Amino acid sequence: MNIIEPDLNGRQLRIGIVQARFTNEIGSEMLKVCTETLLGLGVADDDITVATVPGALEVPIALMNLASSEQFDALIAIGVVIRGETYHFELVANESGAGVTRVGLDYNIPIANAILTTENDEQAVARIQEKAADAAKVAVECANLVNRLLADQFEDEEEHED
């Protein structure tokens, strides 16, 4: 049995982050925690690119453009959608989540989705630290996994050619 162990070494990885500015105080704090965690995992400051967008619905288009550049090993989506009194919450939460997932699958790039969906500000604030740190770890681990799987696939193809 071949087991690929989790690899949280961020050296040599390039990470793109898209932060939704709506509810910016929470998003900005998430960005701070996320980047600090990436740096702690060995990702170089120069290898982290941050783009901001107005809100959660705009995150997927920015992710798509980062992914299509082929300059990143993984991406991270940061933001918060807080329930209001209308159906808008469900629309924004569902569509932004689906868009983030679609970009990852369409471009074969890991995307850590750290767009919080909460009932109120207090719930969002309580989740900043854990969700933002987790997003950084997920991005590094999944970037290493995909890079490893792609390298193994390339090696298998070379062996079959010989």
By annotation, the residues acting in catalysis are: 88
Taking Cα atoms as reference points, which of 151, 69, 152, 133 lies closest to residue 103?
A: 69
DSSP assignment, residue 56? G
Residues 6+ apart with CB under 8 A from 31: 17, 19, 50, 78, 132
Sign of the dihedral through C-alpha 71, 69, 138, 115: positive
Beta bridge partners of 18: 51, 77
Q: How far apart are CA 73 and CA 139, in angstroms?
A: 8
Helices (H), 14-120: 24-40, 59-68, 88-107
Q: Report the Cα 119 to chain-centroid distance in Å.
A: 22
